[in-house]
Structure 1
């Protein structure tokens, strides 16, 4: 990961190595979030069936929230003094969420979005040790908020499938 220009060093009370480690973790969260955004938007466009209207609207709310989240995550990476990834190839390398190229059934879309939200939650959770070591409360706060959103979204989607 490329860091920003050294002419004006970042001095926010977090050591450079910690900032890089945290930014690397956030880059994985960003890649997962962007991958989930693409998948959710794709499903929004292509959902069919008896639940079309409710799922179409739900997916729109979800991808809108994810679009804001990717900006927040990327801006936190920048605040740490590291350039944020932004290419499809970088996201593909960093993301734990597999691409969906076919158009699944509405039920399968919901199941895949449960899995995607749970994957983002796991990735976000994996960054906490680095934030604790670096005493980075701002990133920990961002991650806590992301966990809350993804855990709630997974629960709501799971409820559609009547799975516990």
Structure 2
């Protein structure tokens, strides 16, 4: 007699839904994660064998946020069959044109975990105006917080803090 096991997909979907933070609890100026399924990352599962190498994505965007003057996104670049490198990219709006503030490595991750549902435990991008009396206020810092799922069994990993100050992306708060 065989007993069917519960689907892992259902468990991951429930875990992904649990990650969303109500906007009332979010810090002022912080953005919520863009709710996007990364279904294209699963293309390599569809065609095993010789043709699979052509369908494997080399890089996938797993989170993206756009605020008034800040665009930030996380990408995972595949480094081996099971591993990937997560990188943070930031662009700023300057005189009507988006310019790069830089990109920094976040961490290494398991490819299937980083590109699957619930990969982000925390994703927060904020814009903070200076406390001076300038009009309009000058944005001096843009705090960014990233926390990735290590694996479904281990849960969330370390929290990484970044900030954009005076047009350049830097690690730390």
Q: Sort the TM-score into its range (normalised by shorter chain).
A: under 0.3
Q: Which has the higher helix share?
A: 1
Larger Rg: 2
TM-score normalised by L of structure 2: 0.26
Higher relative contact order (CA 8 A, sep 6+): 1
In the superposition, the TM-score normalised over structure 1's length comes to 0.27
Structure with more strand by fraction? 2
